[in-house]
Structure 1
Amino acid sequence: MPKGSPELTAARKEEIVNACEKLYKTMSFKDITLKEIGNVTSFTRTSIYNYFQTKEEIFLALFEREYVRWNKDLQSILNGNEKLGREQLADKIASSISKREQLLKLLAMNNYDMESNSRPELLTSFKVAYGESIRIMISLLKKFCPDKSEDDISDFVYVFFPFMFGIYPYTAVTDKQRKAMDEAHVGFTYHTVYDITKNCLLRLL
């Protein structure tokens, strides 16, 4: 364990995750290394090992933080509304997801490797944030769609959460990908995160 106060430890971890987030905006997962992350922190690269043992652990911490941020938005929908129609509920959930591009990008990545190369305690911490997303979503459905049965709600969860893994690739298409699809005669219509998410939600709700 690193020496220092819990506040210093938390601040160092936050700085490392922030550095990873900054790099991830312009670099791919495979190109980001611990050395690259260390270059944009205020302390030595070797100090990173006091807080995270692998690159995947840093990404998992970023992943967890994105779920925590989304959870706050979902909780605001739950607490801030007495009644919502299905169109309104779909709109608010879709709007909350459209603000979480980083979360969607991480979901589209191979998170199997991310999870398998992280220590159990960090994986558990991540799963707490992920599980909270599911719990809040279930609460939203119970409050605003009271006619839905337990089976209906379970079906929703097991369709919508896997669906989220595919949002980013369908909404963040590069010029290279567009050209390849044109040359392959693959019809493609661009949709925003909000549009594709709301359309799915309306069908599930």
Structure 2
Amino acid sequence: MPKGSPELTASRKSEIVSACEKLYQTMSFKEITLKEISVETSFSRPSIYNYFQTKEEIFLALMQREYELWAEEMNELAKKNETMSADSFASSLAHSLENHEQLLKLLAMNHYDMEENSRPERLTEFKVAYGASLDAVRACVRKFFPDIDCERFIFVFFPFLFGVYPYSVATQKQLDAMRDANMDFKMHSIYEIIYSCVIQLLGGAK
């Protein structure tokens, strides 16, 4: 890591992650390379290695940032509301993730490879952010629905998120394949899928 202030280091890492995010909007994980990322930044490819050693580390940092932003929103939701109905909470949670489509897209990727090809310190930073998101949602459930089994909610909801993106976003190639396979399948929005899940998990909560 080159010498510099923590603020400068954070700024440069953020620029690299943002470049990756920009490319990921139009390119696949497989297509994106460190060379492609460097073109979108003020750094050369060798300079990127001062901050991230692999492409997977950059994607992990992007997912970390998404988790951090989402956790902030969930903490703010708990802070601003003394009570929430099941409908209001499900709607708020669904809208929050609808606005973090990037996170859901990243969750649909192969986490094993991303984590395996990242250094322990980068993986630990990611796990801290992931843990904060668990705690933020946990705090909302415990505050608004004290009679609900909070850990059961977390245990079901977070793994469920890994499959939301593929069921709400499809390429034309995928849609054509489903049509040719005569699949009786209807795409649903991110909001619809998450809202329905949360309502079911809350059961009879009001």
2:192 maps to 1:188 = no
Query: Which residues in structure 2 correspond to 1:14-163 (within 5 Å)?
Result: 14-148=14-148, 152-163=149-160
- List runs of 5+ in structure 1 lacking aligned partners: none
Q: Percent identity?
A: 58
Alpha-carbon shift at residue 84 of structure 1 (Å): 0.6
Q: What TM-score does the superposition give when structure 2 sets the normalisation length? A: 0.95
Alpha-carbon shift at residue 45 of structure 1 (Å): 1.3
Alpha-carbon shift at residue 7 of structure 1 (Å): 2.2
Alpha-carbon shift at residue 111 of structure 1 (Å): 1.3
- For the aligned residue pairs, the C-alpha RMSD in angstroms reads 0.9
Alpha-carbon shift at residue 174 of structure 1 (Å): 1.5
Q: State the distance in 1 between where 2:138 and 2:65 align.
A: 21
- List runs of 5+ in structure 2 lacking aligned partners: none
2:196 maps to 1:199 = yes
Q: State the distance in 1 between where 2:165 and 2:125 align.
A: 24
Alpha-carbon shift at residue 5 of structure 1 (Å): 2.3
Q: State the distance in 2 between where 1:190 and 1:44 align.
A: 41
Deviations 1:47-81 (A, max 9, x none): 00111111011111101000011011111110111
Q: State the distance in 2 between where 1:32 and 1:123 align.
A: 20
Query: What residue identity is the alignment partner of 2:90?
Result: A
Q: What TM-score does the superposition give when structure 1 sets the normalisation length? A: 0.96
Aligned position for 2:4: 4
- For residue 50 of structure 1, give the secondary structure of its aligned residue in structure 2: coil
- For residue 188 of structure 2, give the secondary structure of its aligned residue in structure 1: coil
Alpha-carbon shift at residue 153 of structure 1 (Å): 1.5
Instruction: Report if the CA contact (8 A) 2:71-2:137 is conserved.
Output: no
Q: State the distance in 2 between where 1:193 and 1:17 align.
A: 24
